[in-house]
Structure 1
Amino acid sequence: MITKLKKILNPDKTLPLHNLINAWDDVDDTLIGVDGSFTNCYDLTFLPDAVHMTESEEGAFLENFKRGLLSLPDNFVVQVVVSGRGDNHEKVREYEKTVWTTTSLAREIVSRKVSQFENINSRRMIYRLYITMPPAPTAMIAGDRFYFNKIFKPVENLRALHEAGCVKHSDACENFIRVLADVGIKTRRMTGNEVAQEFYVRLNPTYSRTVSFVPVAGETLRSQVCRSAAEHTFDALALDGFYYRGINLFQRPGDINFFYVAKFFAKLEVDFDAVFILQYTPDSLQSDSVARKEMKFDATVAAATMTAEGRQKSEAIHRMLDDTLETGQRIFNFSLCVVVHEKNKGHLDQKTAAALDAFRAISDATAIVDDMNHLSLFLSTLPGHWFYNRRAHKFALAAIAHFLPVHRPWQGCAVPKMIFPTSGGEIIGINVFDPELPAKHGLIIGSTGSGKSFTTNYVLTNFLVEAPNNHVVIIDVGGSYRKLCELFDGQYIDVRYEDSCAFNPFPMKKYFFDEALKPDADLLSFLSLIIQKMLKCETFSGRKTMIVENTLIKTYRNAKSDPPSLGDFARELKDFEGDAEDKATAVSFFKDLGPWVSGRYSVLLNNPNPRLVLDPKKQLIVFDLQKIKDEPDLGPVMFFVVRSAIQSRLTDLSLNKIIVIDEGHQFFSDAVGTQLIENLYRTARKFGGAVFSISQSPEDFLKTPAATSIIANAYTKFILKLTAQYELLEKLGLRPSEIEEVKALEMSPGKYSEVFYKFLSHCIVLKVQPNPLDYWICTTNDKDRNIEDAMRKKYPDLSLREIILKLTEESV
């Protein structure tokens, strides 16, 4: 009986689509409907990230956007169509063009990464806006069939009405687009040919891939774009090799905000089209007072069938409606549907289930699979075809302003030096040396087991393969970068009490003096602080600072060797010329420097034949302080003396350089260490470098006196999953909504880790999702190390690179 009823109500049949298409022609890039309507079409080329706006920014955005909606004349229709497509390779191609590989390893890494991302079913999001002025009620339309009314017998009247309509529609569109520009939304007017192409591709999804659209003079637009027939059944629409199904909003959400809308899109599976339609109609049948009564009646009826939680939600809706009545907000007709399509009906069912789940993300809104209306909902995705979705709801202006998708997640940096999938399924590019950054410094934070070491290796690998002038210096205390260093033919310095690790803490004279033979202020301050650290003086009076700085200048001027040595400096202190008090201070400094000049530390810092020479051609240098980290005097001094060793690299403006400090907070926990780390940050910034500080918890940064300086200068942050201390993230510059995103981060060991990435005020959740080669390069897991060691024993003649490639092939 039910089957017979279905066939009576909606018999299976092949439909001539062109009779249902409301597209007559385009005039000056305006779509003219068969019914006499006018529609302007726009690409939304840039949308702000409203989810991460501050409270004041959000308030200003909403007020201005509502002003724009109120500026539209009565009966005008706003149609926003958001399309998700599974073919986002544009960013991958951009990335491939930006990297400048010069080694076989770099080429292998980039090649496999490009291949990986081309095979990821990532989404390409397209946002379009259509603004329609419907025809006058007496003029054109009756039901679903379009015709020109006999009222237009005189051609002059028709022309005059048409021209007046054009002016009214054009003025309203221009005004609305200006308001969008005021809130940071960038648009581009689509040409008539682009609109025709949009119809053609949607109505002929397979045919259009092989046969291009060619305009035909003398034919209506709808006749030109329809090349396929549609078969409409009870549960789907079949069109040119694809099945389509419409899912319609059934019960409105209890609350609406930008975050819920973002979650809604994140849950949808490509390919989909989400159609948001709103219209204000002030006639007596749709007056605001009647609309409000209808809304309250809907909520009351719904509450009768709800659980206790549902009734609470219904009561909240009642309160919202009462507030709407009191404040006199305008009520709009609003509809929202999602149309999914797929070649396979089984996959269509999967996408349908995802769409139903996506609606629930909007504060538990409910949707229905709108059987018998799949053709109508499909047609509602077309420009100017808003009227095909008849399931309209009443929404207040404030809710509409939150609901319309005129915002989207941050789309990444302009030049994609690294590419990542996002939690929302898109691919974005980032650039840690983006010109927008006032300073390039960053933070990486993640609890043990969160993938912090893996992520750091992954980011650095991406940075190193970008270009040969990208250099990295790592100061480490755990041995996490030995494999990376070997793979990139870097220089690994395992610092210990041996001649092989001895180097001069004083840079060469050319770095100390400028062309006018004046000392560099930052370098002079740095060396003075190093001496203060050796002397174990927490504070220096102005007089003591002057003695040390004057002696440093004299040492650089008098020393026969270049660079001078710590011993040269000590001799200048011993022979200091000044009054008795200053001379006594200088001599005491000389004596206190004994352990460094001639004692146990001299083998490293005052060796007459320093053997450690840094190769300027090496892209990667690692200083491993593991063996001296527990030395209370030597550890902190050696940590900062590294800055002298890399002076030539640090000041080379032709290099992009990152100095990585992994768990180094223990070395700058006092006043002198704070000044030294601030000096390093300042110098790196001065010469276009970056300092990346890495730690397991926010507290590690915040408990150091240098916290304020480090955090204030860190314009990029990578935050992985934490086990605690979320409340401290606010002190790192994260807002409450951003902290909630950190709490929700997910990971699957060996597959991916989600990372909350903050770039200036922009935020996005990235996925570190390695391919097999990335995985074996970046892993620091003990189990994986054992597998590597076993492979080395099995193939003792293979290089590390060959071992990694062999492991990669076995993992595919």
Structure 2
Amino acid sequence: MEKWLKDILPIMDVEHDCILSKQGDITIAFKVQLPEIFTGSGDDFEAWHQGFIKAIRVLPKESVFHKQDWFFKSSYKPDTANNNASYLTKSSDRYFDGRPYLEHDCYIMLTKKASGRKPSSSVFSNLIRPTLVPEQTISAVVLQEFEDSAGQFQKILSDCGIHLSRLRNEEIISQRRRSGLIERYLFLADTPDKLLIKDLELKNGLKVGESHCQLYTLAGSDDLPALCGSRINYDKYSTDRTKFSIGFASHLGLLLPCNHIYNQFVVVGDAQATIKKFESKRLRLQSLAAYSRENAISRDAVNEFLNEAISLQRLPVKAHFNILAWSENKDELKEVKNLVTSAFAQMDATAKQETAGAAQIFWAGIPGNASDLPLNDTFDTFAEQACCFLNLETNYRSDPPGEGIRFCDRLSAKPVFVDLYDRPRKVGWSSNLGTLVCGTSGGGKSMTVNHILRTLYDQGAHCVVMDIGGSYRGLCELAKGYYFQYEEKSPIRFNPFYLPEGQTLDTEKKESLKSLLVALWKQEHEHFNRSEYVALSNSLQGYYRFLEQHKSVFPCFNSFYEYLQTHYTEELKSYNVKDRDFDLDNFLYVLMPFYKGGEFDYLLNAEDNLDLLNQSFVVIELDNIKDHPILMPVIVLSLVEMFISKMRKLQGQRKVLVIDEAWKAITKAGTAEFIKYAYKTFRKFNAIPIVITQELDDLISSPIVKDAIVANADIKILMDMRKFVNKFDKLQDVLGMSEKGKSILLSVNKDNREIFIDIGGQVTKVYKNELCPQEYYAYTTEGKERVKVLEYAQKYGSMEKGIAYLTQEMAS
């Protein structure tokens, strides 16, 4: 027999952000923000579990806690609004477009039953027998008291990290172009934007529109697991020395890969009346115990229940849990059944497939109709045990695409954007921008940093990379940056004396040039006195005045050297400066190799690529000179001077300095103090220092890394560390990592391209660094692949075209 939904719908109205049922029940609904999956420790799960217990205990008697977790199959849709997106961004958007994942929404409904309301059952469901509205529904006092309890409930959960936001009228009932919560449930709409009315069929099974539904319940004490808790081990991510925690009911949530709704009901009655009822039952069973062993066993069970309730001050409740799963393809229902029963088995529980009572249980799941849950489908327990079956985890949350780095979540490899630098500082997770990247060879360090650099560059950052190994050449060419590499035929050339038009010699530039000249002149153990310092300052000041007067003179080391030989020599004579105060002849002799005709005359006399200040991507490959006693210090000092100039003059722009495996050579070159300076002061200038290392001993034994880098790097990106599991304690101590961080880090699997990110010790999470083919070939460090990429780039005229043809060829 057909009926119109409006005639049998148990909801009378939605007013003052409350759902009012036709039987007088009042319901307040919340949208819930749960913790992210795979990020909790055993202590976290216990805290969340206790939070729910405390929250349920503040609810008034004769109320119902109804938690509803919605899981819908969905597909990723990239944000394509930016028409100026880079080649790699567009390529990755195409690659991830349509990536399947499970969307999750969570709601909590708190229902106050109408006073004098008869207990519901499968026979007396309001699906079958609608009733009139009692007086409570229009009582302002009752509503205010219940709202006060709901406010306490919300505050308790918020204090333990589970955030609730009250649903408003327009979110509960449908609007002109948007479906509300009630209609979404009745028509199984995966998003509020889909407003489509569907037929409900209850005759031959439950059917909503084209969706064939199955209902599985956990509603009897015989079906429950022998033991339950706030967490269980997740063997996939555990090791011999660490146990990885997930929620006890997580297998009924995101780990159940089908369309489903997980309904969790906890009915809070009159505790004293419940205990009195069980006392009567115990006495009755006591008198019958002599006639049947079953009666004796039941008596003992009731007695244990009463003892626990009284001695431990437990709150007796009735509980019911069900999974509503569906598929538009009827042939898939067998697979869905296998998935659901297997998920229950992971908890050591037994699922019951409902047939006769499925319609009434489905009807009780309507937001605002929880009071109509058939009590014959509930079991008696305590709040502590009931809360073990609550789903406590949700999907990874994503920052806005324009503010974060694109990684993927662990579960379905759905793209999520991670803001490593701005948001963590705003919310207090981190206090600096220092970044440490550590992992074994082949673990994906350079790939990860390439990806971070490319994203920051696309967002407007200036990037400077000191590299040993050529890991950033492809990205540099794509960014049309400057790539400096020492070769005999084409050595590295700089010109630290060049000033772009409109700029003048400031104190910082002068100090940088003095440091460079001293490094060229003196060895580390040689003394540098005050008179020499003054003489160098005066020489630079005079040289730039000379340039202003002689516009035809090109600023470089050659012209500076000639200025010293002529004009400055005369100036020193006029001041009667002695050799012991400043030995100009010795200075000119030592620096002669850098003057034209000398061994290193190319080094400081570049005539092209001069404006490094405004060049937003610069890579210096140091592999061929890392052990050179002269070239290495000069080049490093030139780089340092260039980056500090960017840092101070490009105000409002982000600057990034990457030192990839070059930090050892740099510290040998006498710039250890610069690394310390970088990590301590860069944040003041919106600059990010990133240091990459692969040796575990580097972190433990090097005072530079330990005291300067690790101590001032709030962002730590670590790769697969399972090979160090037996000597992890020292590393854990140096990194200041908690036991929670340790168990999450040791779950990283490099075969899945996973990386571990720690932000200020407050957020520890594992992501997949999955790349599209175009990104992979732009970042690859594999020898044969890198050669092939460079060949294609040369053949087709640019790195972008080369990668495009190569990926097209590899896909065919």
| Class of the TM-score when normalised by the shorter of the 2 chains | 0.7 to 0.9
Assess, with a 3 A threshold, how the Cα gap between structure 1 residues 577 and 475 changes in structure 2: closer, same or farther: farther
Shift of 1:673: 3.4
Aligned equivalents of 1:627, 1:289: Cα separation in 2 = 85
Shift of 1:549: 5.6
1:644-655 aligned at under 5 Å gives the runs 644-651=641-648, 652-655=650-653
Letter in 1 for 2:659: I
Letter in 1 for 2:541: R
Asked if the contact 2:446/2:471 (under 8 Å) is kept, the reply is yes
Asked if the contact 1:433/1:440 (under 8 Å) is kept, the reply is yes
Aligned equivalents of 2:337, 2:573: Cα separation in 1 = 84
Equivalent residue for 1:304?
Answer: none
Equivalent residue for 1:171?
Answer: 148
Aligned equivalents of 1:548, 1:137: Cα separation in 2 = 97
Equivalent residue for 1:775?
Answer: 776
User: 339, 348, 369: which one pairs with 2:324?
Assistant: 339
Q: Does 1:459 align with 2:483?
A: no
TM, length-normalised to structure 2: 0.75
1:60-99 aligned at under 5 Å gives the runs 66-87=53-74, 89=76, 92-93=78-79, 96-97=80-81
Aligned equivalents of 2:680, 2:70: Cα separation in 1 = 46
Aligned equivalents of 1:577, 1:509: Cα separation in 2 = 32
User: 231, 244, 267: which one pairs with 2:213?
Assistant: 244
Letter in 2 for 1:457: N
Equivalent residue for 1:493?
Answer: 484
Equivalent residue for 2:291?
Answer: none
Equivalent residue for 1:218?
Answer: none
State the secondary structure of the residue aligned to 2:152.
helix
User: 265, 268, 276: which one pairs with 2:256?
Assistant: 268
C-alpha offsets along residues 403-423 of structure 1, whole Å, 9 cap, x if unaligned?
644664652435544333211
Equivalent residue for 1:691?
Answer: 689
Q: Does 1:229 align with 2:201?
A: yes
Assess, with a 3 A threshold, how the Cα gap between structure 1 residues 755 and 546 changes in structure 2: closer, same or farther: farther
1:402-481 aligned at under 5 Å gives the runs 404-405=390-391, 408=394, 411-414=397-400, 416-425=403-412, 426-437=414-425, 438-464=431-457, 466-467=458-459, 469-481=460-472
- Greater Cα offset, 70-79 or 674-683: 674-683
State the secondary structure of the residue aligned to 2:97.
helix
Letter in 1 for 2:716: K
Q: Does 1:620 align with 2:617?
A: yes
- Greater Cα offset, 179-188 or 55-64: 55-64
C-alpha offsets along residues 446-476 of structure 1, whole Å, 9 cap, x if unaligned?
3223233323323333333x34x33322111
Aligned equivalents of 2:330, 2:127: Cα separation in 1 = 40
Shift of 1:503: 1.9
User: 543, 552, 558: which one pairs with 2:542?
Assistant: 558
Equivalent residue for 1:7?
Answer: none
- Greater Cα offset, 404-413 or 721-730: 404-413
Aligned equivalents of 1:606, 1:32: Cα separation in 2 = 81
Aligned equivalents of 1:401, 1:529: Cα separation in 2 = 67
Asked if the contact 1:77/1:279 (under 8 Å) is kept, the reply is yes
1:129-528 aligned at under 5 Å gives the runs 129-139=108-118, 141=120, 143-146=122-125, 158=135, 162-196=139-173, 197-205=180-188, 212=195, 227-233=199-205, 237-249=206-218, 250-252=223-225, 253-257=227-231, 259-261=245-247, 264=251, 265-283=253-271, 286-287=274-275, 327-359=312-344, 364-372=347-355, 374-375=358-359, 378-379=362-363, 381-386=365-370, 387=373, 392=378, 397=383, 404-405=390-391, 408=394, 411-414=397-400, 416-425=403-412, 426-437=414-425, 438-464=431-457, 466-467=458-459, 469-496=460-487, 500-505=491-496, 519-520=507-508, 524=511, 528=515
Shift of 1:350: 4.0
Shift of 1:786: 6.1
C-alpha offsets along residues 531-588 of structure 1, whole Å, 9 cap, x if unaligned?
46984537x9xx9586676555444433347778597699999979999999579899
Q: Which runs of 5+ in 1 are unaligned?
A: 1-12, 214-224, 295-318
State the secondary structure of the residue aligned to 2:96.
helix
Asked if the contact 2:495/2:610 (under 8 Å) is kept, the reply is no
State the secondary structure of the residue aligned to 1:411.
coil
Aligned equivalents of 1:329, 1:588: Cα separation in 2 = 92
Aligned equivalents of 2:766, 2:216: Cα separation in 1 = 28
- Greater Cα offset, 120-129 or 674-683: 674-683
Assess, with a 3 A threshold, how the Cα gap between structure 1 residues 419 and 244 changes in structure 2: closer, same or farther: farther
1:515-664 aligned at under 5 Å gives the runs 519-520=507-508, 524=511, 528=515, 531=518, 535-537=522-524, 550=534, 553-560=537-544, 565=557, 583=580, 603=600, 607=604, 613-614=610-611, 618-631=615-628, 634-635=631-632, 637-651=634-648, 652-664=650-662
- Greater Cα offset, 388-397 or 63-72: 388-397
Assess, with a 3 A threshold, how the Cα gap between structure 1 residues 558 and 524 changes in structure 2: closer, same or farther: same
Aligned equivalents of 1:367, 1:275: Cα separation in 2 = 16
TM, length-normalised to structure 1: 0.75
State the secondary structure of the residue aligned to 2:753.
strand
Shift of 1:172: 1.8
State the secondary structure of the residue aligned to 2:100.
coil
Equivalent residue for 2:237?
Answer: none
Shift of 1:397: 4.9
Q: Does 1:122 align with 2:101?
A: yes
Asked if the contact 1:649/1:655 (under 8 Å) is kept, the reply is no
Letter in 1 for 2:124: R
State the secondary structure of the residue aligned to 2:11.
coil
Equivalent residue for 1:307?
Answer: none
Shift of 1:684: 3.5
Asked if the contact 1:665/1:704 (under 8 Å) is kept, the reply is no
Q: Does 1:743 align with 2:750?
A: no
Aligned equivalents of 2:574, 2:307: Cα separation in 1 = 86
Shift of 1:485: 1.9
Asked if the contact 1:30/1:192 (under 8 Å) is kept, the reply is yes
Equivalent residue for 2:301?
Answer: none
Q: Which runs of 5+ in 2 are unaligned?
A: 174-179, 233-244, 283-303, 426-430, 548-554
C-alpha offsets along residues 577-606 of structure 1, whole Å, 9 cap, x if unaligned?
999999579899959966976799961686
State the secondary structure of the residue aligned to 2:164.
strand
Aligned equivalents of 1:70, 1:710: Cα separation in 2 = 48
Assess, with a 3 A threshold, how the Cα gap between structure 1 residues 768 and 367 changes in structure 2: closer, same or farther: farther
Letter in 2 for 1:773: Q
Aligned equivalents of 1:737, 1:433: Cα separation in 2 = 22
Aligned equivalents of 1:602, 1:650: Cα separation in 2 = 32
Letter in 1 for 2:702: T
Letter in 2 for 1:269: P
Aligned equivalents of 1:111, 1:131: Cα separation in 2 = 45
Letter in 1 for 2:734: K
Letter in 2 for 1:775: Y
Percent of aligned pairs with the same amino acid: 17
Asked if the contact 2:25/2:137 (under 8 Å) is kept, the reply is no
Assess, with a 3 A threshold, how the Cα gap between structure 1 residues 115 and 405 changes in structure 2: closer, same or farther: same
Aligned equivalents of 2:36, 2:743: Cα separation in 1 = 16
Asked if the contact 2:462/2:654 (under 8 Å) is kept, the reply is yes
C-alpha offsets along residues 464-492 of structure 1, whole Å, 9 cap, x if unaligned?
3x34x333221111011222222232221
1:726-765 aligned at under 5 Å gives the runs 726=725, 727=728, 728-748=731-751, 753-760=753-760, 761-765=762-766
State the secondary structure of the residue aligned to 1:694.
strand
- Greater Cα offset, 414-423 or 320-329: 320-329
C-alpha offsets along residues 371-402 of structure 1, whole Å, 9 cap, x if unaligned?
43654554454313442586656665556667
